Amino acid sequence: MKKWMQFLVLISSITSTSALLASGGIDGGGGNTMTSVTNAKWKAECSSCHMLYQPGLLPERSWNKMMSGLDKHFGENASLDAATRDEITHFLVTNSAEKSTNRRSNRINQSIPANATPLRISETRYFMSKHDEVSPSTFQRKSIGSAANCIACHKSAEKGDFSESQIRIPR
């Protein structure tokens, strides 16, 4: 192979590897990083008050219940027009925890009793077992606010990456 051709091959393999990493492709299946999915309406409407919660964090029945009660969403009115609501609901339920092959999504789902429909990830048994060493006063720090603010400690939370190397608890 000519030198310049080797260079081209090298460049294209680097680009495809980083594209795969950025999309969560390598670890998106059975691995630890949730398959990172996105939808423009979801991004626009569900990130104005808090971080974006990946669909793989809750089962379908939770998203359905949440999306049908947006006028009373944790004390806020987060209502949407019907078309936008339906599109976002479809996006959330298509990618929900029980449909994922990802290990973390599956564990979240398995930790929820069949007769329960939690609206909070932070109230699932999986969440509680993973955070039993974080004290309530830490969650209440000004820099954090509540357990719902995943991104305060998990820098890549919006991409579904909760790996230990991405955790930094602010003071």
List interacting residues with ligand HEC (CB under 6 A). 45-46, 48-50, 53, 57, 73-74, 76, 78, 88, 104, 120-122, 130-131, 134, 138-139, 144-150, 152-154, 162-164, 167, 169
Q: Distance between CA atoms of 90 and 124, rounded to whole angstroms?
A: 23
Between 13 and 126, whose beta carbon lies closer to ligand HEC? Answer: 126
Between 81 and 164, whose beta carbon lies closer to ligand HEC? Answer: 164
Q: Is 159 helix (H, G, I), strand (E, B) or coil?
A: helix
Q: Distance between CA atoms of 158 and 165, rounded to whole angstroms?
A: 15
Smallest separation (angstroms) from ligand HEC to the CB of 153:
3
Is residue 12 within 8 Å of residue 22, measured between CB atoms? no
Smallest separation (angstroms) from ligand HEC to the CB of 18:
23
Smallest separation (angstroms) from ligand HEC to the CB of 39:
11
Q: Is 57 helix (H, G, I), strand (E, B) or coil?
A: helix
Between 90 and 131, whose beta carbon lies closer to ligand HEC? Answer: 131
Q: Distance between CA atoms of 144 and 170, rounded to whole angstroms?
A: 7
